[in-house]
Amino acid sequence: MLPQTRAQQRLLIKGGKVVNDDVSVVADVYVEDGVVQQVGPNINPEPSAGLVVLDATNKLVIPGGIDTHTHMEFPFMGSRSKDDFFTGTKAAIAGGTTMIIDFAIPQKGCSLIEAFDTWKSWADPKVCCDYSLHVAVTWWSNKVKQEMESLVQNKGVNSFKMFMAYKDVYMVNDEELYEAFFCCKELGAVAQVHAENGELIAQGAKKMLAMGITGPEGHELCRPEEVEAEATQRAVTIANALNCPLYVVHVMSKSSAKVISNARREGKVVFGEPIAASLGTDGTNYWNKDWAHAAAYVMGPPLRPDPSTPGFLMNLLANGDLSVTGTDNCTFDICQKALGKDDFTKIPNGVNGVEDRMSVIWEKGVHSGKMDENRFVAVTSTNAAKIFNLYPKKGRIAVGSDADIVVWDPEATRTISAKTHHQANDCNIFEGMVCHGVPVVTVSRGKVVYEGGVFNVTAGEGKYVSRPPFPPYVYQRVRQREQVCQPVPVKRAPYTGTVAGAPVTQ
Ligand code: URP
Ligand code: ZN
Ligand code: ZN
Ligand code: ZN
């Protein structure tokens, strides 16, 4: 069947079970020019040259995964993440993900628009699937405010990430956070936070090094769960004071997840994003005797040594307290990690995940019996599309939707390993994990880009996807609250009694 070019974009996927977030139905799917044209029983298009037919009997046909959080070729901590936009999106495709949302991150004092243009210039010639860009707000000024507006109006950005950690590098203070949240709300954007108390981390790191703790375990010890939970609560409080929707990226701990869960139960507009790493492995690895093994897991916020963390986060993802999944894919080789061989604060932060997210969530979420196939689609694709205003173009298999589709074998298994993965780095935090749930075919905008282990990708064939502001899934509630939840002054007759004279000074 391979290779197929974009000019031959007619595709029929026969006999599978089409799974959306709300319903599953056995149906054929017919695609032309990258868009789903028909979903239903016994579709029989005119056979002609260029019609590709895939048999999906006994398989699931699901919307391609959307990875809400990646850092391809990210210049960071004295190095640059190993997966670029080519290897990163190729690996994504092999894992059943058909769209990534990466982050353009300006240095303090630098232009957000320039950062956006720079990241886009890296991505455009290399991406093998569709992508979009969040933009980080790492400092505050009137210019930043104007640039946020311009990014929303002219560049299709509807989400901004604020760092509460990485002191002196990316961290913003509470006043800046308040300003950025206010601006997001005005513009109809989603405010994202990296929630960790950067001041406590800086002090804690000094303390660990002074105690002679220089290895990867120091990375977790200087930023325990409460450091993440405190920042999460602070972000929730500030966002709620402004009626600004909040999205907490990379939820890594039970404590932080509980803060999000409570906020949602109090009716606040908050979304939590656990990642493949926090759902699939844990921080006991920082205590591994092999330095390289331990260093491979270093990321911020850290994985947690409490081994019940992944299962707990999966429970919350299954029940709706957490909403959506990314990976924070930011890969470094062991030799790059070794920049911090004598000082854990110098180990470049980041782990893999873009290739394995779907299988890890199927294994730990669906195979374990915690969630059904529809919830799986919701947390790997649909909810991301709704929150970031891509729905129903992305995140759904329906007439008119982009044909980003995966034929998924729920029974097949695969063993994750750095020896066989398609990512550019030389280690894998899920090494040896056996996962049920394997992507058999991946379709990107109607083109079969991966089938049975064989790629048919072209660098630069993915497209930048603009995201309009005011996603209804997020902003319907925000706008309504803006109208009906404003405090009003109490109407009173004016006070007509005596007013005390000026205080007597002695
Ligand atoms: O360790 C991490 N998370 N690396 C990427 C940067 C970030 O904070 O997302
Ligand atoms: Zn972060
Ligand atoms: Zn090892
Ligand atoms: Zn990140």
Using H for helix, E for strand and C for coil, what is the string for 354-372? Answer: CCCHHHHHHHHHHHCCCCC
Which of ligand 1's atoms lies nearest the C-alpha of 170?
Answer: 8
Among 115, 167, 173, smallest CA distance to 144 is for 115
337 lines ligand 1 (CB under 6 A): no
Q: Is the CB of 416 under 6 A from ligand 1?
A: no
- CA-nearest residue for atom 5, ligand 1, is 350
d(C-alpha 452, C-alpha 161), whole Å: 37
Q: Which of 80, 328, 331 to mutate to test the pocket of ligand 1 (most atoms within 8 A of CB)?
A: 328
Within 10 angstroms of residue 76's Cβ, the number of other Cβ atoms is 18
* pLDDT score, position 463: 98
Q: Please name the residue that has the structure tokens 């232009």.
A: 111
The rounded Cα 455 to chain-centroid distance in angstroms is: 24
Question: Token pair of 294, please?
Answer: 């331990």
Pocket test for ligand 1, best of 68, 69, 71, 119 (most atoms within 8 A of CB): 71
Which atom from ligand 1 is nearest to the alpha carbon of 194?
8
Residue type present at position 30: Y
Tokens of 324: 């959506």
Q: Whose CA is nearest to atom 4 of ligand 1?
A: 350
Q: 3-state secondary structure string, 442-481?
A: EEECCEEEEECCEECCCCCCCCECCCCCCCHHHHHHHHHH
Measured CA to CA, the distance from residue 177 to residue 164 in angstroms comes to 8
Please report how many Cα atoms fall inside a 13 Å half-sphere around the Cα of residue 347, on the Cβ side: 32
pLDDT score at 503: 78
Q: Could you give the CA distance from residue 298 to residue 417 in angstroms, rounded to a whole number?
A: 18
- 309's CB contacts (< 8 A; 6+ apart) are 252, 253, 254, 278, 282, 283, 303
349 in contact with ligand 1, CB cutoff 6 A: yes
Q: Is the CB of 301 under 6 A from ligand 1?
A: no
Residue 238 Cα to ligand 2 middle (Å): 18
Closest ligand to the CA of 192: 2
For residues 121 and 79, is the Cβ–Cβ distance under 8 A? no
Nearest to residue 467, comparing CAs of 386, 411, 410? 386
Phi first, then psi, for residue 472 (nearest 5°) are: -60, -35
Atom of ligand 1 nearest to the CA of 249: 9
Chain centroid, CA 321 distance in Å: 16
Q: Is the CB of 198 under 6 A from ligand 1?
A: no
pLDDT of 6:
54
Say which residues have a Cβ less than 8 Å from residue 122's Cβ, sequence separation at least 6. 72, 73, 84, 85
Whether 71 is in the pocket of ligand 1, judged by its Cβ within 6 Å, is: yes
**DSSP 8-state class, residue 388:** T
Whether 164 is in the pocket of ligand 1, judged by its Cβ within 6 Å, is no
Question: Is any atom of ligand 1 closer than 6 Å to the C-beta of 348?
Answer: no
pLDDT given at position 49? 80
For residue 328 and ligand 1, the question of a CB distance below 6 A is answered with: yes
What distance in Å separates the CA atoms of residue 3 and residue 354, rounded to the nearest whole number?
Answer: 24
What's the pLDDT score for residue 227? 98
By most ligand atoms within 8 Å of CB, the mutation choice from 349, 354, 429 for ligand 1 is 349
Residue 195 C-alpha to ligand 2 middle, in angstroms? 8
Residue 316 CA, ligand 4 centroid: distance in Å: 21
C-alpha 399: how far from chain center: 26
Alpha helices in 303-392 (DSSP H): 309-319, 334-337, 357-361, 373-377, 383-387
Residue 190: CB partners within 8 Å, gap ≥ 6? 158, 159, 160, 184, 245, 246, 247, 271, 387, 388, 471, 474
68 lines ligand 1 (CB under 6 A): no
Closest-approaching ligand to the CA atom of 67 = 4
Does 300 contact ligand 1 (Cβ within 6 A)? yes
Task: Measure 476 CA to ligand 2 centroid, in angstroms.
Answer: 27
Look at residue 7 in the predicted model and tell me its pLDDT: 47
Beta carbon of 194 within 6 Å of any ligand 1 atom: yes
Backbone φ and ψ of 33, nearest 5°? 50, 40
Q: Please tell me the residue having the least CA distance from ligand 1 atom 3.
A: 300
Instruction: With both helix axes pointing from N to C terminus, report the angle between 174-187 and 142-154 in degrees, rounded to the nearest 10.
Output: 30
Query: What are the 10-residue block averages of pLDDT along the chain, 506 residues in total?
Result: 58 98 98 98 90 98 99 98 98 99 98 98 98 99 98 99 98 98 98 98 98 98 98 98 98 99 98 99 98 98 98 98 98 98 98 98 98 99 99 98 98 98 98 98 98 97 98 98 93 96 77
Ligand 1 atom with least separation from CA of 161: 9
